[in-house]
Amino acid sequence: MSRKVSKVFQQSGVIPYRLQNGSLEVLLITTRNRQNWVVPKGGVIDGMSPAISAAKEAWEEAGVVGQVYTHELDTYKYRKKGKKYEVKMFLLSVETVLEDYPEVGQRQRQWLDINKAIRRVKKPSIKRILKDFLEPN
């Protein structure tokens, strides 16, 4: 009796944040179809750590560059088109916001107070991670 072992694809993502006038803001981006607000994430690139790979996704998808913290913030899992994914999440302290970046015409981006960001995000796992960032245990 053998069981099929399904592959879990490894991804990493970041919560881009900054302090603006003394208040914490996070950057949300839309999915490519512009239906939902999310945070930057993507497949872990061979030869890169999950944290560095996530920082690269932040540049490609959101046009932000900064200090990525290598301590994993949290993880979540999801399924898409029959595949399983596990996403390791990291914090990215944004230092530079670029106007020209690879996916500039494919997504919208918006800086929001973290409480507004929590309300705007639909995916429960991202909501939970944002809440934990706001109020760590």
Identity of residue 48: M
pLDDT in tens, 37-82: 999 999 999 999 999 999 999 999 999 999 999 999 999 999 999 9
CA distance 95 to 82: 37
pLDDT tens-digit profile of 80-116? 999 999 999 999 999 999 999 999 999 999 999 999 9
* Spatial CA neighbour of 38 closest among 47, 46, 29: 29
Say if pTM beats, i.e. exceeds, 0.85. yes
CA–CA separation, 4 vs 65, rounded Å?
Answer: 41
Q: What is the CA radius of gyration of the chain?
A: 15
Question: What is the model's pLDDT at position 43?
Answer: 96
**Planar angle of CA 40, 7, 82, nearest 5 degrees:** 70
Rounded Cα gap, residues 43 and 66, in angstroms:
19
